[in-house]
Amino acid sequence: MNVPLWLKKLVGENKANLRTVNSQKMDNYLNKHNLNTVCVEAKCPNRGECFKHGDATFMILGSICTRGCKFCAVDKSAKPLPPSANEPNKIAEAVKKWDIKYVVLTSPTRDDLADGGATHFASTIKAIKQSNPDTKIEPLIPDLLGDIEALKIILQAKPEVLAHNIETVPNLYKSVRNGANYHRSLKILAETKKISPKTITKSGIMLGLGEQDKELKQTIKDLAEIKCDLLTLGQYLAPSKDHNLVKNYPSPQDYKKWEKYALSVGIKAVLAGPLVRSSYLAGNLYNKVIKGMGR
């Protein structure tokens, strides 16, 4: 399916930002210190804009995923390496160097690790907090195979937000999220609220994979019913011809419609748009919900 001209223009504008001085400085720093970002590994269309402003979403626990999701560009072709013991401190140093006030941490899915990487997430959160006490932290975690004890390890490190993406409607899980389970993902978010009621929860949905309006409404309702606070909605863009095909391109007006609907059923703050990704303007969305909560 042909990409609309208006969307090509948006992507092109973001790519142009990669040529800015600050973007190149950020890129050089990450390469020099051997730090992974989901911006690069997942071929995020907003990388230029974020790097230009000295922002990045760090990918801990390596760059090799143990799952076979057909929407994602993260490498799945090799065996992951063990977690790097000095990575938490390296991430903390990078946050301080770039004066990042709101940091998002993510990882590939690590089903090979007994706790899914939870201990490493917790260590990284603690290291950042120790050297950057005013920085807010949002771990965007995999489903941990539904291990609630592993989830508790991450929550005990006291992140401000716990994010886990539902990604798509349940009917498409088999073709889109190989190895994942819709209800298991909902459970991770629901249990977060039970374990740590004050922790803000967040999820994200990709559009354009063939979901029907009725299915999308129900998925948003499901998130609202488990008291998910924040939601992102963005256009799925196929990383290659070997990935899931794009079935349609919702218009900017469609995103406004879905944002309005999500707010109407109880989601507290929504960021919706063609190039919106899980960590895009994450600090802004956090501040919006905090203001609404009166904290």
| Residue listed under structure tokens 């960590």 | 279
The CATH number covering residue 70 comes to 3.20.20.70
Q: Is 49 exposed, middle or buried (0-12, 13-18, 19+ CB in 10 A)?
A: buried
Domain ranges, residue 92 = 5-293
Mean pLDDT, residues 173-198 taken together: 95
Q: Does the pLDDT at position 65 exceed 80?
A: yes
pTM value surpassing 0.75 = yes
* Token code pair at residue 246: 């794009």
- List, for residues 103-143, the tens digit of each pLDDT value: 999 999 999 999 999 999 999 999 999 999 999 999 999 99
- List, for residues 8-62, the tens digit of each pLDDT value: 787 777 777 767 777 787 778 777 877 787 666 666 676 777 776 666 788 999 9
Question: What's the structural domain count of the chain?
Answer: 1
Closest CA to 172 of 25, 292, 71: 71
Using pLDDT thresholds of 50, 70 and 90, give the confidence band for residue 77: confident
